[in-house]
């Protein structure tokens, strides 16, 4: 039986693994706050189509996304609030921070009648009159949920509101409760309201309780990740953020 020369076998194996290495696409592993879910899904699909790089996405509250990112050594990108990145991520990890987009806290309504939100008294009356409210669980690091808890305490109606409140996993779940009319009011980012159903938007919190949140992107500085980050800052990407209720950072 004729044996194949060892040199030929080694050459064949080398070629095989070179082929496999080029066939296997690079991957970005991204954790993000749910407020940027729809634009990030759209952008990741567009990038994968253009560059062939797979982007793995995982969305949760701002705090939960940060926690999952830090627990996964393979993760390359985190999108959460700028404040969280500056306090909890950047000081202990090597990488870069880029402001991405702003969003505003708001209220969604499932009822036909839409209460006024011109001032703090209007807000207080609206929260007391409805029978059910949903907002993201503050204990899971929800930015708007934490803010809303502070608001109802300052308005002196924490007990009344919490008796009829549902704590949702995140803003996406909050909006599902509003859309299905299981609750009358939903408290979350305006971007999440617009992404679910813009017709349900009641408005932003009136002064002095308005809340604008800046989302930022933290990433590990390698060539492939830098290319994706640059893509997320293009004019086309900014148009997609705006379409989904976010205000791009210039």
- pLDDT band at 26; cut points 50, 70, 90: low
The answer to whether residue 210 scores a pLDDT higher than 90 is yes
> How do beta strands 133-136 and 27-33 pair?
unpaired
Mean of the pLDDT values across residues 40-52? 94
Nearest to 77 by CA among 56, 50, 49: 56
Do 129 and 49 fall within a single domain?
A: no
Q: Is there a single domain that holds both residue 161 and residue 198?
A: yes
* Secondary structure of residue 66 in the 3-state scheme: helix
Compare 10 and 35 and report the one with higher pLDDT: 35
164 or 248: which carries more pLDDT confidence?
Answer: 164
Percent of the chain predicted with pLDDT > 90: 76
Residue 48: CATH number of its domain? 3.40.190.10
Domain that holds residue 234: 27-103+213-248
Q: Inform me whether the pLDDT recorded for 69 exceeds 60.
A: yes
- Whether 63 and 119 map to the same domain: the answer is no
Same domain for 82 and 46, yes or no, is yes
Query: Alpha-carbon distance 188 to 148, whole Å?
Result: 9
Cβ-contact 99, 249 below 8 angstroms: yes
Kindly state whether residues 219 and 206 are assigned to the same domain: no
Q: Is residue 115 part of a domain?
A: yes
Classify strands 96-109 and 247-248 as parallel, antiparallel or unpaired.
antiparallel
Predicted TM-score of the model (pTM)? 0.74
Give the pLDDT band (50/70/90) at residue 12.
Answer: very low
Structure confidence at residue 234 (pLDDT): 94
Query: Is 41 inside any structural domain?
Result: yes
**Confidence band of 123 (pLDDT split at 50, 70, 90):** very high
Q: By CB neighbour count within 10 A (0-12 exposed, 13-18 middle, 19+ buried), where does 127 fall?
A: buried
Q: Taking residues 121-125, what's their average pLDDT?
A: 97
What's the domain count of the chain?
Answer: 2
Domain co-membership, 140 together with 83: no
CA–CA dist 76, 57 (Å, integer): 11
Domain contains 21: no
What average pLDDT does the segment 3-20 reach?
45
174 located within any domain = yes
Confidence bin at 195 (pLDDT 50/70/90): confident
Residue 96: pLDDT over 70: yes
Instruction: With cut-offs at 50, 70 and 90, classify the pLDDT of residue 11.
Output: very low
Structural domain contains residue 173: yes
Q: Are residues 108 and 204 in the same domain?
A: yes
Please tell me whether residues 111 and 194 are part of one structural domain: yes
Rounded CA gap, 78 and 172, in Å?
A: 18
Give pLDDT tens digits for 212-223: 989 999 998 888
Same domain, 123 and 183: yes
The answer on pLDDT for 25 being more than 50 is no
* 5 in a structural domain: no
Nearest Cα residue to 59 out of 85, 74, 84, 77:
77
């Amino acid at each position: 039986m004729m044996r194949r020369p060892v040199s030929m076998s080694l050459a064949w194996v080398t070629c095989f693994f070179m082929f496999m290495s080029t066939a296997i696409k690079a991957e970005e592993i991204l954790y993000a706050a749910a407020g940027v879910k729809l634009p990030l899904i759209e952008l990741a699909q567009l990038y994968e189509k253009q560059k062939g790089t797979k982007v793995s996405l995982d969305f949760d509250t701002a705090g939960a996304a940060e926690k999952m990112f830090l627990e996964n050594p393979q993760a390359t990108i985190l999108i959460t609030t700028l404040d969280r990145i500056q306090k909890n991520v950047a000081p202990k990890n090597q990488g870069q921070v880029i402001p991405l987009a702003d969003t505003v806290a708001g209220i969604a309504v499932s009822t036909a009648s839409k209460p006024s939100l011109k001032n703090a008294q209007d807000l207080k009356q609206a929260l007391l009159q409805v029978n059910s409210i949903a907002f993201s669980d503050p204990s899971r690091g929800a930015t708007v949920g934490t803010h809303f808890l502070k608001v109802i305490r300052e308005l002196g109606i924490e007990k009344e509101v919490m008796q009829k409140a549902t704590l949702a996993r995140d803003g996406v779940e909050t909006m599902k409760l509003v859309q299905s009319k299981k609750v009358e009011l939903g408290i979350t980012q305006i971007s999440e309201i617009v992404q679910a159903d813009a017709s349900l938007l009641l408005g932003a919190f009136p002064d002095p309780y308005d809340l604008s949140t800046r989302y930022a992107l933290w990433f590990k500085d390698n060539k492939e990740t830098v290319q994706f980050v640059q893509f997320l800052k293009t004019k086309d990407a900014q148009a997609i953020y705006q379409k989904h209720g976010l205000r791009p950072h210039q």
